[in-house]
Amino acid sequence: MSAATKRSKDHGINRRSFLHASVTAAGGLLVSLYFNRASAQEGASAAQGPPKINYPPDAFVEIRPDGKIVIQVNRLEFGQGVQTALPMVLADEMDADWASVVPQLAQAKDIYKDPVFGIQMVGGSGSIAHSFQQYRELGAKTRAMLLSAAAKNWNVGADTLRTEPSVVIGPGGKRATYAELAKAATAMPVPANVRLKNPSEFRYIGKRTPRLDSRAKCDGSIKFGLDFDQPGMLTAVVAHPPMFGAKVRGFDDADARRVEGVREIFQISLPRGSGIAVVADKFWTAKQARDRLKIDWDTTEIAKEDTTALWAKYRQLAGTKGLSALARGDESALDKIASANRIVAEYEFPYLAHTPMEPLNTTIRFDGDRAEAWVGSQFQTCDQMAIAQTLGLKAEQVLFHTEMAGGGFGRRAVPDSHVQREAAEIAKKLRGTTVKLIWTREDDVRGGFYRPMFFHRVEIGVGTDGMPAAWRHVVVGQSIMEGTPFAMMMKDGIDPTVAEGITDTQYNLANFNVSIHQPKVNVPVLWWRSVGNTHTAYVMETLIEELAERTKMDPIAYRRKLLKPDAKKLRAALDLMEAKSAAWRQKLPKGHAVGFALHESFDTGVAVAVDVSIVNKRPKVHGATVAVHCGLAANPLTVESQFQAGSGFGLSQLMAKGAITLKDGLVEQRNFHEFVPPYIMDAPVAVDVHIVPSTDPPTGCGEPPVPVISPAVANALSKLTGKRYRSLPLVEI
């Protein structure tokens, strides 16, 4: 329990939230939004079990004497633009001068927890969607306190005052800056309710606003977790097991210790197996020493997975019914349809690595009764607790700094916090010394975690009108949630991420039955940007395109006819995409084809049309028109950037060497020369992004760009070659 929450209970405050104001050491105004957890539990019946409570994070605003307004961002910034968008929301309601806003990434604390997920994190494309209302209220209440302070100073009613950016204006032209009023505002009562602006009054929200971190990233002055440095700091690398879960039987470090600058070499426990930590003055020294280690690994009880064998197993499972994830209509309807009117399709999707540009890293200093950590973390709450647990501390004894991170795509959101646990094990041995653990690219590619491999078998019965009359779908793939704290989200043994994008499809499919198999495999798996939608959208959208072609119907019209009546977001996105792409679709050069895809994920509807040709036996995306319905776009410029970059990331599924494979228990890929991402020549030449105008609450934008681009490209390729592309990556065009 945070100190603020304890105070609220001690004083019997029953409001859902309240503001606590205080004077900072610098003399400025610090405003915090707290949440009264006790009141949320009132009326909950014991028979109902634990209540489902949202714990909104505290948001902080500091008005400094120099006029700077420091806004704490309760998330990780790793390229998605949240360090600009959330301050925009708060500053708008506060009427703050945007030029004075300074964003800061918040430390790990209960008061910064995501209001929906209940932990401090970035994931599920929820940063803006979940904190939009919070930051608006915080800004509005801060403004109200400043108005009250000015009203008292001038002996007038607060309703006679107005604000302009960071200035309160009163009768007769009186003016007072927010900095001048900050100290007096701390004594003002906090309003229980405030009026929020109408969208027509927004000064910043909805406006294309350059990111606050752009200049620092361009000139190199910004610091990422990997850049963190301190006098006397040491660097560590770990020799990880060659097979997942293997343990050290013995090791010879004599040659490694001869490398000048090596400080310590010792064995550590890992969440899976054990390893050898090498600590040195510099990274390269540590790596050279690690390369000289002679380690005897015990793999006798380890399942030595092999991709070829797994595909055979998965294919066999797909021929049988699994756990029922969805049963709609008559399950036997498919058997009554003649084989000539059926489509049978089998799809293969390999393991995928995340490979964020900045290698994984964690820096920790352990002083016995406290610790300090610097981490580019998607899961601050989990990682802080893992460090504390490893060091024998309480979470509040670990001062956890959220560092800027260079990408993640899900890789920095690991339920077992294995990188942080490794770093803490090393720091515990080196008490009183700051030590940075670095995972090399090879460590990450060969040491997991991965997007699971999946096999789909789909049987479709086509009606006389060309529309699907029966649909039987079996999905085979590992559960991401099983065996983790997120297993609580599973129902009847089913991981909802395995078939998301199918079970919640916005297409109106009759006699629709979905079942899943979740085999246990000795390969660590994790969400990959857009999670299950990465493969389910590909299956659904390539099959829908195939059905449209079979019926000789325009693929846009076919989709529109098949959509559910209440699929409003997808209809709006489809209409906008059709209108914005019409001009170039009518002028396709010879050897080019257009492909479409439509998908809703994270409450955001996306439609895309792509212009594709084949160059040197590789797909060339000459252009893409993307339409997105994401509710109110807090910063349209960020949304545009997300969808442009996400389109490039989504193409990584298609790259000829874009798969992680295993042989005799060993991962065969090591670095970008073997697990190859899209190069510049593979990226779309242009991605035009169009946002459906809306005042609906914001929805996700970080992950929805990814699922649609690959099936759209595959659909265009099918028109060019006459082939159906059911196995990724695209080894042959």
* Complete DSSP assignment for 277-294: EEEESSHHHHHHHHHT-E
> What's residue 33's pLDDT?
38
Q: Which of 135, 133, 131, 123 is nearest to 78 (CA)?
A: 123
Overall CATH class of domain 3-214: alpha beta
Q: Where are the domains of the chain?
A: 3-214, 225-300+360-438, 319-352+450-721
> What's residue 187's pLDDT?
84
Q: pLDDT tens, 284-336?
A: 999 999 999 999 999 999 999 999 999 999 999 999 999 999 999 999 999 99
Residue 423 has which token pair?
A: 């770093």
Q: pLDDT tens, 427-466?
A: 999 999 999 999 999 999 999 899 999 999 999 999 999 9
Query: How far is residue 100's CA from residue 487's CA, in Å, rounded to a whole number?
Result: 44
The neighbour count for residue 508, using CB atoms within 10 Å, is 15
Residue 374 has which token pair?
A: 């610097």
The answer to whether 225-300+360-438 and 319-352+450-721 have equal CATH topology is yes
Question: Which residue carries 């594709």 as its tokens?
Answer: 612
> What's residue 186's pLDDT?
82
- DSSP assigned state of 360: P
Query: How far is residue 298's CA from residue 295's CA, in Å, rounded to a whole number?
Result: 10
For the chain, the first-to-last Cα distance in angstroms comes to 57
User: What is 319-352+450-721's CATH topology?
Assistant: Aldehyde Oxidoreductase; domain 4 (3.30.365)
Residue 192 pLDDT level (bands cut at 50, 70, 90):
confident
User: What is 225-300+360-438's CATH topology?
Assistant: Aldehyde Oxidoreductase; domain 4 (3.30.365)
Q: Which of 483, 525, 519, 522 is nearest to 303 (CA)?
A: 522
Residue 19 pLDDT level (bands cut at 50, 70, 90):
very low
Residue 382 has which token pair?
A: 């989990």
SS (H, E, C) 518-542: CCCCCCCECCCCCCCHHHHHHHHHH
Q: pLDDT tens, 112-121?
A: 998 888 899 9
Q: How far is CA 638 from CA 53, 99, 131, 680, in A?
A: 30, 18, 16, 21
Residue 660, phi then psi, degrees to nearest 5: -100, 125
Residue 298 has which token pair?
A: 């015990």
Return the percentage of the chain with pLDDT > 90, whole number: 88
Peptide bond into 266 cis (omega under 30): no
| Average pLDDT score over the chain | 91
